[in-house]
Amino acid sequence: MYTKQQAGGAPVGRGAPSQSVALAAMMFAVAMTFIDQTIVAIATPDIVDELGLSASGMQWVVNAYLLSLAAFFALGGRLADLFGPRRIVVVGTVVFVVSSVLCGCVPRGDFALSWLIVFRATQGLGAALLFPAALAVVVAVFPVERRGRALALFFGVTGALTAVGPLLGGWLTDWTWRAIFWVNVPVAVVALVLTALAHVSDRRRDERLDVPGAVLVALGMGASVLGFQQASAWGWDSAYTWICIVGGLGVLWLFCRYELRTAHPLVKLAVFRDRAFVVDGLVLFFAMLAFVPLFFFASVYAQVSLSASPNQAALYLLYFFVGFALASQWGGRILDKRGARPTMKLGCVVGAVGFALWAGKLTDLSMHDQWPYAGLAGAGIGFILAPASTDAVNRAIDASYGEVTGITQTIRNYAASVGLALFGTLLTHAMTDNVRDTLESHGVPSSAAGDAARNVAESVTGSGDDRPLSGGGAVAQTVREQMAAIRMDFAEANQYVFYGMAVALGVGYLCALRHPGGRGTDEEATKEGAARG
């Protein structure tokens, strides 16, 4: 039995949790989900060749993971409350690693695509269970005065692991692409052993699970995210795109109406009455518009415009993550001393300046000349993510750590999907216009140049399927002869994307100005809740 509790921390007494071991356990557990976001992209050509998949089929393999992640994040946070975060971490880890093994064991033949989609979706479910619960464990174990630095380390290290994915994927794929899934097994074993050694307590809530709410939020998030994901393939003028987006948002509206009326809601929407919590969520949303999409756009830019190998592209991203990791630690210290408002404002300004300067250097086509700007952009994101997420948890009135982390992670994941869709569309259109102008300037007729430009743009940005260049052999020959110019066209198109990321962080800064300040301690939360009555 636990006899007393630390202020803002975990129960102490017999079997008190080891904070450092608990933090390490959660970082190992979450590391799998972060690495998996980028490692699969490197092995895509090998998977497609061996299993005979189409490009659109492979895109569904990628989307299945992200859709499942978006649909079940809120449920994962709530289950952590009802059954205890440690138990849900274990369950999520087991679901994730078993799914990973089965993905690596996919048989050749007609069932290969269905097999991969199903088990990538269950991987996403495991990650959705695992991440909110792991974050809830870290928040519960560390008292408020040390929470900022702990979560800065948590986000800094696990975020940086996303850049390890391409490096690890390139090395493992040289052996077999199946190893990119099997590599999760030793990581999961370490995570489970450390979780057992940490002696983290589980405090459960004696409440029922809001099953209708879980179904509504899963349908709403899944449909709207699917619409954004498929917008580039279906087209923004497609009825399917808007049926998914508008229909999903409509279901989410019904979810909010239902949650306000049920006795034991999946999400206590009263938490959004706290202005600081709302501002934290908005700043996270605009930061994530840039953060996750950057992995894709910067990696493809490096491979297309800079002619880098996948491993070199991963090293290119390390410039960003050096700044990210350093600023995460600095931001955590600022949070502990002065609260989230200063570090969020600083992060938005630094990030906006970094992305804008980085955009201006993309057309130099020099990887090493860009490192100061990539590092500056990474520092801006590093100053934002952990402090905003931690402050949101500290500000939550009458809501548990698992529930609030489920909300904030849902916001982050939704923003990432929107960012990928919007910036992907912007990139495809800009690339198409640039390549068409290049081909027309070298004598290709306007209609043929337009068709060829669309095919080249969709091939490079991954927004289309495998299609041969239209317009005959002469057009294809012109494209091959003008590859140097096309690489520059792609760099110029990416400038719009990076400037867009700078604008997103500028909007985040305007939101951060509305933050009331303070450190969001338990005492402040109690006073604020009493003031509301």
User: Which H or E run includes 5?
Assistant: strand 4-5
Domain 280-527, CATH: 1.20.1250.20
Dihedral sign from CA coordinates of 416, 417, 420, 426 = negative
Two tokens, residue 266? 């999946």
Domains 15-209 and 280-527 share a fold: yes
Two tokens, residue 3? 């006899």
Query: How is the chain split into domains, by residue range?
Result: 15-209, 210-265, 280-527
Q: Using one digit for the tens of pLDDT, what is the confidence trace for 232-260? A: 778 888 999 999 999 999 999 999 999 98
Those residues with Cβ within 8 angstroms of residue 50's Cβ, 6 or more apart along the chain or in another chain: 108, 177
Burial tier of 366 (Cβ tally within 10 Å: 0-12, 13-18, 19+): exposed
Distance between CA 68 and CA 89 in Å, rounded?
17
Q: Using one digit for the tens of pLDDT, what is the confidence trace for 160-215? A: 666 666 667 767 777 888 988 998 999 999 999 999 998 887 777 777 888 999 99
Q: Which range has the top average pLDDT, 71-80, 270-279, 377-386, 418-427?
A: 377-386
Under the banding of pLDDT at 50, 70 and 90, the label for residue 469 is very low
Which residue in 334, 328, 344 sits closest to 276, CA to CA? 344
Burial 377-408, CB ≥16 within 10 A → b, else e: bbbbbbbbbbbbbbbbbbbbbebbbbbbbbbb
Two tokens, residue 230? 């498929």
> Hey, what CATH topology would domain 15-209 get?
Growth Hormone; Chain: A; (1.20.1250)
Under the banding of pLDDT at 50, 70 and 90, the label for residue 459 is low
Question: pTM higher than 0.95 for the full model?
Answer: no
Distance between CA 241 and CA 232 in Å, rounded?
9
Under the banding of pLDDT at 50, 70 and 90, the label for residue 3 is very low
Length of the chain counted residue by residue: 533
Which residue in 414, 412, 407, 455 sits closest to 431, CA to CA? 455
Distance between CA 376 and CA 351 in Å, rounded?
6
Q: Are 154 and 386 in contact (CB under 8 A)?
A: yes
